[in-house]
Amino acid sequence: MFAKKNHRLIAGILLLVLVMIGVSGYRYESKRTPEYAMQALMTGIAERDEKTIARYADIDAIAASAYDESTAILARDIEELHAMYPQDWFFCHDTAFMEQYIAERRTQDLALMQRAWSLFLQPDAIVSNADDMDDAAFVAKEAQDIVPHYKADLLTVTPEKDGAQASALVEITGDSSAYGQLVPKMQLKLTLLRQPDGQYRVVRIANVAENFAPVVKGIEDYCTMKGIQ
C-alpha cells in the first residue's frame, strides 16, 4: 500500500511531461532554432510520434531531474505536507525516513515512469483488464484519460546570448471537467540545449518546485475522486 501512494507522486511528475500536448501558433522555416524544436516536440507528443519526441526531448533526463527535485521537496517538506493533508497516511513520516525510502526506490520508480511513458505512446499495448494491469499500465491508462482535458500553449521561446541554450514557457490549461480542474492552470519552464548537429532539445523542466504544490493538490483531489486510500 505504501508503494501505491508513492505512485501518485510519480503519476503527477509524469503528467508534467505528458501534458505538453497541443500545437501552438509558432511556425518557423529554420529547423535549427529552439522555436522549431518546441513546435516539433509538441506536435510529436500530440501525434504520439516517438521518434520525433526522442529527437527533440530527452524524456529520461526530464523525468529523472523532475523526480529528483520533486522527491527532495517531498522529503524536506514532509511535515508541512502532513499538516496540509492529515488524512493521507503517505505523509505520516519524517524527512530521514522519506530520504531513505526514496533512495531505495529511485531506480524502480524511474523504470516505472519510462515504461508508463512507452505505454502512453502505444495505447494498444495497455491491458484493458484492471486485474492484469501493472503499475505502469495503470499510470499510462489514467494519463490517457486525463490528458485530453488539457491543452498547451507555447507562450515564449528565449534563446540565450551564446546560442547554446534556450528556455521555453508552456502554459497548461485544464477544461471545466473534473479531470481538467485537478490542476486548472500551470506553466512549465523548459530548458533546451543546442546539440552538436545544431538542433535544440528539451532536457529539463526548470520550475518543478513552482509546480510541486498544485500538482500534489491535484494528486490528492484525484485520489479522493477515485476513492483511493
In the 3-class helix/strand/coil scheme, how is 122-153 assigned residue by residue? CHHHCCCCHHHCCHHHHHHHHHHHHHHHEEEE
This prediction has a pTM of 0.89
**163-207: per-residue pLDDT in tens?**
899 999 999 999 999 999 999 999 999 999 999 999 999 999 999
Q: What is the 3-state secondary structure (H, E, C) of 44-81?
A: HHHCCCHHHHHHHECHHHHHHHHHHHHHHHHHHCHHHH
Lateral strand order in the sheet of 185-194: 150-159, 165-174, 185-194, 200-205
Q: Using CA atoms, how far apart are residues 4 and 187, in angstroms rounded to an integer? A: 27
Provide mean pLDDT across the span 88-113. 90
3-state secondary structure of 179: coil
Mean pLDDT score of the chain, rounded to an integer? 85
Specify the higher pLDDT residue, 31 or 114: 114
Q: 157 with 150: CB under 8 angstroms?
A: no
Q: Which residues of 132-165 are buried (b: 16+ CB within 10 A; e: fewer)?
A: eeebbbbbbbbbeebbebbbbebeebebeeeeeb
The whole-number pLDDT of residue 229 equals 65
pLDDT recorded at residue 122: 87
